[in-house]
Amino acid sequence: MSATPSRPSESETARAKIAPGRPKDLAKRAAILDAAKQMFTLHGFDGVSMDQIAATAGVSKLTVYSHFGDKETLFVEAVRGVCEELMPDLFVADPKAPLRAQLTGIANAFFKLITSDEALSMHRMMLTQSSDEHVRQMFWQAGPQRVQSAFADFLQARADNGEVDVPDIRRAASQFFCLLKGELHMRMASGLGGKPAQPEIDTHITATVDFFLRAYAANGRRAP
């Protein structure tokens, strides 16, 4: 049965407004985020209460609300945090670096992200009936959409440099990540076998990058 999200009482809300300029404890914020990432992954949005997150983080419920305001904000920050941990600053790249090497690096990090235990658990959770459309939309915007938009900006910069010829940047970004998921991710998400061996992953990523560059290399030339 889904846990009912709890809200702070009026007295708790009043206390949270005291001393608005007081700096927040970053260690407590990190502990709350760690607890939220762990619990949302295991139990989904509806299966976790703010009381439970506070207890796991070793802080008061008032502290949780003071840092994040509400449960939805905390969920979004938790999903974003997982993505940022596994794909840090990949799209802030040197424009002079070889395109193939950068695409391969992005592909490796993305595949590691989507095949992590946390991501697979969250993916399965989003497919259950207990996750309503609003929760799935929050997940999409904080995770997949954020990554795809960043990659689209990366592609646009490369197109502006004349390295790729991409008529529809957003569509191409979506295609790249769909190709990367492929059968390997589908099998893992379905619980069929464990994680593939690294040589199989390397072959899959190389083939994906080659396919993408053949489709969008500028003037039909092979990208370095």
DSSP 2: P
Return the pLDDT at 130. Answer: 56
Judge contact between 144 and 77, C-beta under 8 A.
no
Give per-residue burial for 79-88: e unless 16+ CB within 10 Å, then b.
bbbbbeebbe
Return the pLDDT at 143. Answer: 77
Examine the domain organization and report whether 111 and 208 are in the same domain: yes
Q: Identify the domain boundary among 20, 45, 71.
A: 71
Residues of the chain whose pLDDT is less than 70? 1-24, 86-95, 128-131, 219-224
Examine the domain organization and report whether 98 and 65 are in the same domain: no
Give a yes or no: residue 78 inside a domain.
no
CATH of the domain at 48: 1.10.10.60
Judge contact between 2 and 47, C-beta under 8 A.
yes
Closest by alpha carbon to 74, among 5, 168, 12, 14? 5
Examine the domain organization and report whether 108 and 206 are in the same domain: yes
Three-state SS string over 53-68 comes to: HHHHHCCCHHHHHHHH
Examine the domain organization and report whether 151 and 201 are in the same domain: yes
Examine the domain organization and report whether 95 and 147 are in the same domain: yes
Examine the domain organization and report whether 61 and 92 are in the same domain: no
Return the pLDDT at 14. Answer: 41
Examine the domain organization and report whether 57 and 105 are in the same domain: no
Examine the domain organization and report whether 136 and 203 are in the same domain: yes
Examine the domain organization and report whether 40 and 109 are in the same domain: no
Examine the domain organization and report whether 117 and 64 are in the same domain: no
Give a yes or no: residue 48 inside a domain.
yes
Examine the domain organization and report whether 57 and 94 are in the same domain: no
Give a yes or no: residue 91 inside a domain.
yes
Return the pLDDT at 21. Answer: 42
CATH of the domain at 212: 1.10.357.10
Give the integer Cα–Cα distance in Å for 29 and 35.
10
Domain extent for 140: 87-220
Our count of domains for the chain comes to 2
Examine the domain organization and report whether 51 and 112 are in the same domain: no
Q: Identify the domain boundary among 46, 71, 96.
A: 71
Q: Identify the domain boundary among 26, 46, 71.
A: 71
Give a yes or no: residue 76 inside a domain.
no
